[in-house]
Amino acid sequence: MCEYCHKHGEGKKWYLQANNYSQDLLSDLKRRGISFDANILGKDLRRWEELKKAPFLVRAIQEPRTAERVRNMHFGQVLPIEDVEQIFGIVNNVVRLSCFCRRTRGVKEQRYCYGVSVVPQGDEAKQVVSSSGMGFFSGAETGGLEKVSKEEALDSFREYEKEGLCHSVWTAPTPFVIGICNCDRSDCGGIRLTVLGGMPILFRAEYVAEIDPELCNGCRACMRVCPFGAIGYSAGNKIAFIDIGRCYGCGICRASCTKDAIHLRDRSSVPAVANLW
């Protein structure tokens, strides 16, 4: 279990705790001090860039503080499809919305993000969006939260897996769950910051993948879709292998394997990566 499961999930998966979706949590007056504010988040992200040029001692003190502040406001964790299905068993409202990260990367509107909540009209998603200081969601091209059924959303998620998109659950502010995104390494701000920028705001899933060498035929389809570059190929053995130190447990490789050779294991059952987030 990651540190957020201990802090916000009573030792269970934090994103499967119904109270992390509740209106009470969002409107808790004590939590107003860390409301989601895109301007403050933006400042912290710029500060992170500046810190890269600072002396070692300054970095050693300031980087963990900045990363923790960002995580308190906006934090994500990778999810395989079976955990997305469990979240959909908790929430009663799903809305599709335009992806902010892709827009910032110059990609035209793509609705790969889903707000989830436990109220009928998606009011919590609107509340977070309207309090964020972002005009983004009220623009002519991007405005509007499009209500979809859970079944429709899950069908789309399965199609996204075939495109190589990885699911991730996000808070704003932590631990209030606002939505589930479908990300790739090229455009997702969370993956880019975590993997390329060194700021861990996207934790690995509670799982890690493994390949059954008896079933693998070495086709390398899994290598092509892994968003984290965790899969290699042994020319000698003519099979693929997973670098578990790089694996985020998203299960995207599993969806691409026609030989059913890839499975996810509980991260806690693999000592080498049990505490790697």
Q: Smallest gap, in angstroms, from Cβ of residue 148 to ligand SF4?
A: 25
Check if the beta carbon of residue 192 is closer than 8 Å to that of residue 227: no
Q: Which residues lie across from 95 on neighbouring strands?
A: 115, 147
Contact 177, 137 (CB under 8 A): no
Min dist CB 42 to ligand SF4, Å, is: 28
Decide if residue 257 touches ligand SF4 (CB under 6 A): yes
Among 179, 256, 267, 273, binds ligand SF4 (CB under 6 A): 256
Buried-state track 101-137, b at ≥16 Cβ within 10 A, e below 16: bbbeeeeeeebbbbbbbebeebebbbbbbeebebebb
How near is the Cβ of 192 to ligand SF4 at its closest, in Å? 15
178 touches ligand SF4 by CB under 6 A: no
Rounded Cα distance between 250 and 101, Å, is 19
**115 makes contact with ligand SF4 (CB under 6 A):** no
Question: Could you tell me the smallest distance in angstroms from the CB atom of residue 89 to ligand SF4?
Answer: 22
Residue identified by tokens 């053995």 is 237
Site string for ligand SF4, 258-277 (x = CB under 6 A): -x-xx---------------
Q: How many CA atoms lie within 13 A of 54 on its CB side?
A: 14
If you search the block for the tokens 């959303």, which residue do you land on? 153
Q: Which of 25, 119, 221, 276 binds ligand SF4 (CB under 6 A)?
A: 221
Triad 271, 273, 276: Cα angle to 5°: 135
Residue among 67, 180, 202, 211 that touches ligand SF4 (CB under 6 A): 211
List the one residue from 218, 265, 276, 277 that touches ligand SF4 (CB under 6 A): 218
Residue 14 binding ligand SF4, by CB under 6 A: no
Q: Which residues bind ligand SF4 (CB under 6 A)?
A: 209, 211, 216-222, 226, 228, 230-231, 240, 242, 247-253, 256-257, 259, 261-262
